[in-house]
Amino acid sequence: MSKFADIQIDPAIVKRAARGDARAHEIIYRAFKTPVYSLCLRFTRAPAHAEDLVQETFIEIMRSISKFRGEAALGSWIRRIAVSKALMFLRSAWTARSQSLADDWDDVTPGNAVSHGISSHPDEALDLDAALANLPSVSRTVVWLHDVEGFTHKEIGKLMGRTESFSKSQLSRAYQRLRPMLSPMGDSVADENAALRSI
Amino acid sequence: MANETKDEEMICGLTADERDGLMRGLNALPETMPPRAVWNRIREQAQAEGLIRTAVTQRPSTWVAGFAVAAAVVLAMTVLPRLMSTAGLDTQYTEPPALTNDIPVKVTALQALMVQSQQLESDLRTLPDEPKVMRASTVATLSDIEDAIAAIDFQLNESGVQMTPDERELFWRERVRLMKSLVRLRYAQAQRTAF
């Protein structure tokens, strides 16, 4: 489940932030900086771009927090802004390369993409990280939005300016690439978590 | 919703177990903290655009509060890291040598560090907000720790950096140590505020 959902901010802090209180904004930043940066880094794979997107996200939060009515959780609202900024960046990157979203998959050669230099390590979590990095950016984004952030295919299609079917198709192709490593990975992570809880 | 899930499984070609394993694996991937410079950039832009009002710096009302925070800082920066490095990580995740060879021991230790780091991130988020009034030394210490964590995250995420498994484990071990210091310091801060 998305890390954004775990973060609670006192409504009084949000009200102070809406009045432009710098300290309140810093509290919100400190609470959400890691999930926002992690999401942006996951999408872009480049720390410099992720930092720019974090800046754009929190500036947007400052601009529009006075319109936040609290109907949804603050974390969901912030996540949507971060996702929107990250997708806007990716869209511009795709545009700059004169590629369509659908072509993105065909551009990838296995093992060619940025993989943080860890793909040869035997650790399964790192393998998943590397496998994810090796996916085309569109598919990686769809996997993350659907399986981690909990967006539906309909929402993803809308966010990406495409259809629900497009989202499903991207997810399906990504799963085929990730499938060989699924069974052992899930078990070992669960075992590790159980061992840690017992300490 | 149930129909949609069924459709997705048919389309995506994964069994429920595979799907479950993937989702658990994805959610277990570690998070990354941004460098401190990012907040400075945000603050500068926000001030330039008139989006925020800078608060007047306040002083602690009593010397007792200041002393408590200073003591917490000293504790977090000196005693606790030593205790954690000797009594915590080094012994906590040792595998029985008879059961595994060298490589699985390394894998398990690294996985444990990653999971522990994620747990500490989660613990940090559960702590109350930082108090309105903080000593400059506390702010500096928090910032120093966060900078060190950000530097480690950069190394771990930088595609150009080649690391041996031992080096990677060393970085993760240091990250966990720093995260523990950060959590302890923020916890002490929260205790002081509650008091």
Tokens of B183: 């959590």
* Domain endpoint, select from A98, A133, A157: A98
Q: Which letter, b or e, does each residue of B38-56 get, where b requires 16 or more Cβ atoms within 10 Å of its Cβ?
A: bbebbbebbeeeebbeeee
**Cβ neighbours of residue A141 under 8 Å, at least 6 residues apart?**
A43, A86, A87, A90, A160
* Domain co-membership, A16 together with A89: yes
Mutate to test the interface with B, among A187, A188, A191, A197 (most CBs of B within 10 A): A188
Cβ distance of A55 and B116 shorter than 8 Å: no
Highest average pLDDT, of A85-94, A99-108, A177-186, B83-92, comes from: A85-94
> What is the pLDDT, as a whole number, of residue A183?
54
Q: CA nearest B138: which of B177, B186, B183?
A: B186
* Domain co-membership, A77 together with A30: yes
* Domain co-membership, A77 together with A124: no
* Domain endpoint, select from A67, A98, A129: A98
Q: What is the CA radius of gyration of chain A?
A: 18
Cβ distance of B28 and A125 shorter than 8 Å: yes
Q: What distance in Å separates the CA atoms of residue B164 and residue B152, rounded to the nearest whole number?
A: 15
Q: Distances from the Cα of B88 to the Cαs of A5, A116, A141, B44, B91, in angstroms? A: 30, 29, 37, 40, 6
Residue type, A134: N
CA neighbours within 13 Å on the CB side: how many for A154?
A: 2
Q: What distance in Å separates the CA atoms of residue B18 and residue B25, rounded to the nearest whole number?
A: 10
> What is the pLDDT, as a whole number, of residue A89?
92
CA dihedral over A52, A54, A59, A63, signed as positive or negative:
positive
In this predicted structure, the answer to whether residue A145 has a pLDDT above a threshold of 80 is yes
* Domain co-membership, A80 together with A146: no
**For the residues A184-190, what does the mean pLDDT come to?**
49
- Write out chain A residues lying below 8 Å of B42, CB-based: 29, 54-55, 58-59
Q: Which domain holds residue A149?
A: 99-199
Cβ distance of A147 and B8 shorter than 8 Å: no
Among candidates A31, A172, A178 on the partner chain, residue whose Cβ is nearest the Cβ of B11: A172
CB A81 within 8 A of CB A25: no
**Cβ neighbours of residue A96 under 8 Å, at least 6 residues apart?**
none
The CATH number covering residue A106 comes to 1.10.10.10
* Domain co-membership, A94 together with A120: no
CB A127 within 8 A of CB A185: yes
**In 3-state terms, what secondary structure has residue A21?**
strand
Cβ distance of A33 and B25 shorter than 8 Å: no
Chain A closest-CA separation from residue B138 CA (Å): 15
Q: CA nearest A38: which of B101, B156, B108, B183?
A: B156
Contacts across the A-B interface (CB distance below 8 Å): 186
* Cα dihedral B116→B117→B119→B120 (10° resolution): 120
Q: CA nearest B116: which of B30, B5, B20, B4?
A: B30
> What is the pLDDT, as a whole number, of residue B61?
43
Q: Is the pTM here over 0.80, yes or no?
A: no
In this predicted structure, the answer to whether residue A199 has a pLDDT above a threshold of 60 is no
Chain B closest-CA separation from residue A47 CA (Å): 8
Cβ distance of B159 and A193 shorter than 8 Å: no
The model's pLDDT over B30-68, given as tens digits with 9 standing for 90+, comes to: 888 999 889 999 999 999 999 998 754 444 444 444 444
- Residue B78: CB atoms within 10 Å: 10
- Write out chain A residues lying below 8 Å of B37, CB-based: 51
Q: What distance in Å separates the CA atoms of residue A152 and residue A171, rounded to the nearest whole number?
A: 11
Among candidates A22, A172, A186 on the partner chain, residue whose Cβ is nearest the Cβ of B21: A186
* Domain co-membership, A195 together with A119: yes
* Domain co-membership, A81 together with A105: no
CB A160 within 8 A of CB A101: yes
Q: How confident is the model at residue A142 (pLDDT cuts 50, 70, 90)?
A: very high
Chain B closest-CA separation from residue A28 CA (Å): 9
Q: Does A55 touch chain B (CB under 8 A)?
A: yes
The whole-chain average pLDDT of chain B stands at 70
Taking the mean position of all CA atoms in its chain, how far away is CA A87? Answer: 10
In this predicted structure, the answer to whether residue B71 has a pLDDT above a threshold of 50 is no
Please tell me the total count of domains within chain A. Answer: 2
What chain A residue is nearest to B164 in terms of C-alpha separation? A121
The CATH number covering residue A77 comes to 1.10.1740.10
Task: Mark out the alpha helices in chain A (DSSP H runs).
Answer: 11-18, 22-44, 47-64, 74-96, 124-133, 137-143, 153-159, 164-178, 182-198
Among candidates A51, A124, A148 on the partner chain, residue whose Cβ is nearest the Cβ of B38: A51
Which residues share a beta bridge with B53? A21
Among candidates B22, B27, B132 on the partner chain, residue whose Cβ is nearest the Cβ of A178: B22
Cβ distance of A33 and B38 shorter than 8 Å: yes
- Write out chain B residues lying below 8 Å of A16, CB-based: none
* Domain co-membership, A151 together with A166: yes
Among candidates A26, A116, A182 on the partner chain, residue whose Cβ is nearest the Cβ of B18: A182
* Domain endpoint, select from A98, A132, A151: A98
In chain A, what is the straight-line distance between the N-terminal and C-terminal CA atoms, in Å? 24
> What is the pLDDT, as a whole number, of residue A66?
94
In this predicted structure, the answer to whether residue B87 has a pLDDT above a threshold of 70 is no
**For the residues B92-107, what does the mean pLDDT come to?**
41
CB A82 within 8 A of CB A61: no
- Residue A147: CB atoms within 10 Å: 19
Tokens of A1: 């489940």
* Domain co-membership, A37 together with A105: no
> What is the pLDDT, as a whole number, of residue B106?
53
The DSSP code for A147 is: I
Q: Distances from the Cα of A141 to the Cαs of A101, A136, B160, B169, in angstroms? A: 11, 9, 23, 28
Q: How confident is the model at residue A64 (pLDDT cuts 50, 70, 90)?
A: very high
Helix axes A182-198, A124-133, angle to 10 degrees: 130
Among candidates B27, B55, B157 on the partner chain, residue whose Cβ is nearest the Cβ of A148: B27
Q: Does A85 touch chain B (CB under 8 A)?
A: no
Q: A67-70 contacts: CB < 8 A, separation 24 or more?
A: A68/A14, A68/A18, A70/A11, A70/A14
What chain B residue is nearest to A58 in terms of C-alpha separation? B42
